[in-house]
Amino acid sequence: MKRLGAALLALAALAAAVPAGAAGTRVLTRGGDLYTAAVVDDQVVVTARAADGGVSELEVPQATGIEAGSLQIAVDPASGALYVLWQKRNDLGARLRLATFVDGTWSGPATFAGNDGTAALNPQMRVQRAVSSYVEEAVDGEKPEVVELATTFIHLVWWSRSSEEDIGSGMYAALPVNPDGLPKFRELAPVALVDFLPYGITCFDIGGAAALTHPKLLVDPETGNPHLFATDFGDCIFQIIELAVETVPDETSPDKRRRQIIILRNPSMIALRPDLPLETTKIEVGRGLKLMLHWDAEDGEALNYLELDREGLSPIKTLPLADGLDHEQAVELIRALID
């Protein structure tokens, strides 16, 4: 017989080697296949350009009434499964749907949020392939065994509201994936992103609050762990929370081995800034989880940016798009400030 030893090989979340992939309307696989999603005549269509040059169009079933800007796609690096996420409607009936394409067949879409009397808005997703190992210590003369675990997780964040008067809160869920790429929706357990920290005061009279209801997913380049950035109106703060992989006993396994789960840890806070337009803000991540937030000026002729560190948010600065400086070059200059 074997028993679980105290020694765990600290290889949790191999995201440093297999980073959590940010979702957008385009995704390039490691094999060189390019997927592009678009809404065509109120229908989601994914164009697949294979590495060998072949092109095909995949029409996502039951994917109509898409809220502008909500469409995202991502790929599981292990199974090759393609995930398509979108928001349907933009009122109190708003809900989030996820479809999966595996081995030439669509599964879903499944409604995973907003189907319970609440509105689910402003989604983001990232796909992470997490790898960790542990040692089963030997007894009765047997050799110790190193057991490797690997799980794909779809990280999901969104904003939830229960009424027109309710300003709402950020939500997070980790959706594990089967080896064949199909999500385990029965294991989805959303968490409200409020009251993680015993600080702050309730927000009153926050102008432009709708611009702050856009939680973000980002990745620490040093640890590879995903993090979330969200507004907590209950404490009037911005919060950053690490999404870490842990191995725990699997009570459903006949041999009592272990499985991987996502835990939320090391929350930190920054005083809320009502003038920060999270809806259009992009976040660049540097070492030590230094964050640079930037967004386009209203006239499109400049890039506004500020730095976030342990001291809080710096004053907003403006970089004009002038003297031959284009938008992409401006972003690179801003990113260099935290590298």
Residue 121 lies in a domain: yes
Mean pLDDT of 36-63: 90
With respect to residue 195, please indicate whether it lies within any of the assigned structural domains.
yes
The alpha carbon of residue 181 and the mean position of all alpha carbons in its chain are separated, in whole angstroms, by 17
- Inform me whether the pLDDT recorded for 224 exceeds 60: yes
The predicted structure's pLDDT at residue 178: 93
Beta strand 226-232 with 237-249: parallel, antiparallel or unpaired?
antiparallel
> Residues near 44 by Cβ (< 8 Å), separated by ≥ 6?
37, 38, 59, 60, 63, 64, 66, 71, 84, 86
Separation of alpha carbons 148 and 83, rounded Å: 25
Rounded to whole angstroms, the Cα distance separating 291 from 270 reads 12
Q: Give the position of tokens 């509105």.
A: 119
Predicted confidence (pLDDT) at residue 246 exceeds the cutoff of 90: no
Q: CA nearest 82: which of 5, 160, 182, 156?
A: 182
pLDDT at 93 over 90: no
Q: Is residue 146 part of a domain?
A: yes
Are the C-beta atoms of residues 335 and 284 closer than 8 Å to each other? yes
Residue 12 confidence (pLDDT): 32
Q: Which residues contact 258 (CB under 8 A, 6 or more apart)?
A: 4, 134, 147, 149, 247, 248, 249, 250
Query: Is residue 17 predicted with pLDDT exceeding 50?
Result: no
Q: Mean pLDDT, the chain, as a whole number? A: 82
User: 24 lies in a domain?
Assistant: yes
Q: What is the DSSP letter of 329?
A: H
Q: How confident is the model at residue 11, as a pLDDT? A: 28
Domain presence at residue 125: yes
Domain assignment of residue 303, yes or no: no
**Beta-carbon count within 10 A of 174 CB:** 24
State mean pLDDT over 202-225: 75
Strand partners, 37: 46
- Report whether pLDDT(7) > 60: no
Q: Structurally, how many domains does the chain consist of?
A: 1
In a domain, 327, yes or no: no
pLDDT tens digits for 112-131? 999 888 999 999 999 999 88
Higher pLDDT, 119 or 271: 119
- 129-145 mean pLDDT: 76
- For β-strands 226-232 and 26-28, DSSP reports them as unpaired
Is the pLDDT assigned to residue 36 strictly greater than 90?
yes
- Identify the residue with better confidence: 197 or 223: 223
Q: Residue 23: which domain range?
A: 2-207+245-256
DSSP code at position 196: S
Lowest-confidence pick of 148-152, 176-180, 206-210: 206-210
| Digit-coded pLDDT (tens) for 279-298 | 788 888 877 778 888 999 98
The length of the chain, given as a count of residues: 339
pLDDT of residue 30: 87
Cα dist from 256 to 7, 138, 146, 243, whole Å? 16, 15, 15, 25
223 occurs within a structural domain:
no
Structure confidence at residue 16 (pLDDT):
32
What was the pLDDT predicted at 96? Answer: 95
Contact 48, 57 (CB under 8 A): yes
Q: How confident is the model at residue 205 (pLDDT cuts 50, 70, 90)?
A: low
